[in-house]
Amino acid sequence: MTSYFKHLILLCMITYVLSENGTEYKDSCFEERNSIYPCSSTITGNVILMLFYGAILGGAAKLISDGAEMLLDLGFSPSIIGGVVLPILGAVPDCAIIVSSGMGDDAQNKLSIGMGTLAGSTVMLLTIAWSSSLIVSRCSLNKHGESIDGKGKGFNLTKMGMTPLPEVRSGIVIMLLTSLFYFVVQSADWKFGARNTGEQPKYVRDAALATFVLCLCGLAGYTIYSVFDSKRNERRARLHKEEMAQRHVLHALIVMANKQTFKSPKASRATTDVEDGDPDANKEEENEAISKKYFKAWHMKKGVRKHQEESDALLSDERSSAASSDDEGTPESDPEKEDSKLVMSAKCVVMLLSGVALVTVFSDPMCDVLAAMTNTNNKSYIPISSFYISFVITPFCSNASEFVSSLIFASKKTRENATMTFSQLFGAATMNNTMCLAVFMALVYFKDLKWYYGAEVMCIVIVQWIVGFISLARTYKVWMAIPVAVTYVFCIVLTWLLENQLHWK
């Protein structure tokens, strides 16, 4: 019955949105009534569509991330997967939205959505995700001001924090250097005039081409560096394998609990004859004993390595139990292992292709919805630039996997996992400075679009340098999360001031 009501409500919402396509009001939605995608001319309808497309893009980003990490289980080199595949595939959702924003007849107006995605993605990862990861990973500090892995409860601004490994600083330096790429095209626009909205001279377009080439060179250099950065790639592979081991241990726990719960009738009668007292109470005691014995093997916060012996024993018991209950009693053969690997390979390919396909198909309607939210020709609209809508909304869709995985790694409360977390965030910002900016510059140059984003560039660069300098500290204390989180709001206010008070483009 509950499922019936859910489907009924969903049908009503879709009917409401689609019904607006037939309205006599001559708005942009009316002109697109023959499109395969639904549209709306009201704020309510566009919000519903935005949530719908946002959920799809978020799920697509998760499919791409999980499919890429599954390559590690197939035996591929951690250097190639961690240095090339994961960073590039992680930037695919943002790039798809940027490309979609630069297509169509109104590409110049919609391009602000692409800039909002680029700026919002960078700022969100370096402020909200950074501060959240620090709070989640906080540990007590010793007398030398360094964090103690896994130790510390409660909340203290000055006596708790996290000390990442020194190698995280290389990622910070690379991010700061690549952030200077923005100034190649922006300096040309400043020469033309920060407030000048007339026809841009040719040298601005040439500067966009130079930025495009520079970003491609930076992307190639960063990729090569990531491939040969064996420590980071091996750490990612090891942490991924530990997580998979934890899942196997949990699966074994469930299997053993089920074996204790669902006994054969013959065994149950034999047990009942010899037991004194309440059988249910005895069953509860057995399950509790099993839980106490094996739960430590899957304790997320302390890591699986500390309890590897318990994990191995548990998995060994599961294998022996499965072998004794099987009449054949034969171990898994090599062809079966090959079949399992083949199935995993097929699953990995399906996840990657599905994620890329969903991002490709639904990025364009997402851009249309974001543009419709601020379209003055609609029945109702939000009287602000579409940049601010895309700045807030799209990053949480396109970067959901990075955000969630950073919190998961941070929750382990170890220096190694924290290093992985912050390196991932700085690496994502570097990919935005190279790959995503290269896509944006290609649109500006090859489609002859105008560059009117001086305020947004200042916002991106200032946030990167503020967070970068804060992150150069040896230990990130909890209080640092406050100014970093506030920087997110500061970024929006700064952009508004530059555009509306100083009249920057």
Instruction: List the one residue out of 424, 354, 359, 351 whose CA is nearest residue 92.
Output: 359
pLDDT band at 87 (very low <50, low <70, confident <90, very high): confident
Q: In this model, does residue 435 exceed pLDDT 70?
A: yes
pLDDT band at 208 (very low <50, low <70, confident <90, very high): very high
Q: In this model, does residue 405 exceed pLDDT 80?
A: no
Averaged pLDDT for residues 145-160: 79
**What SS3 state is found at 26?**
coil
Contacts of 461 (CB under 8 A, 6+ apart): 179, 180, 182, 183
DSSP H or E run through 139: strand 139-140
Q: What is the pLDDT of residue 176?
A: 94
Say if 26 falls within a structural domain: no
Averaged confidence pLDDT in the chain: 74
Q: What is the pLDDT of residue 177?
A: 94
Averaged pLDDT for residues 59-83: 69
CATH of the domain at 136: 1.20.1420.30
Question: For residues 29 and 154, which has the higher predicted lDDT (pLDDT)?
Answer: 154
Q: What is the pLDDT of residue 94?
A: 85
Count of domains for the chain: 1
Q: Tens digits of per-residue pLDDT, 330-352?
A: 444 455 555 577 887 888 888 88
Residue 162's DSSP bridge partners are: 476
Q: What is the pLDDT of residue 45?
A: 84
Say if 423 falls within a structural domain: yes
Averaged pLDDT for residues 18-31: 49
Residue 404 dihedral angles phi and psi, to the nearest 5°: -65, -45
Q: Tens digits of per-residue pLDDT, 240-267?
A: 555 656 665 666 666 666 665 544 454 4
Say if 287 falls within a structural domain: no
Say if 257 falls within a structural domain: no
Contacts of 280 (CB under 8 A, 6+ apart): none
Say if 319 falls within a structural domain: no
Contacts of 474 (CB under 8 A, 6+ apart): 145, 146, 163
Say if 191 falls within a structural domain: yes
Say if 139 falls within a structural domain: yes
Tokens 């995985």 sit at which residue?
Answer: 405
pLDDT band at 9 (very low <50, low <70, confident <90, very high): low
Q: In this model, does residue 127 exceed pLDDT 60?
A: yes
Say if 390 falls within a structural domain: yes
Averaged pLDDT for residues 7-19: 47
Domain of residue 426: give its range.
43-244+343-502
Averaged pLDDT for residues 203-211: 90
Averaged pLDDT for residues 22-43: 62
Residue 139's DSSP bridge partners are: 161
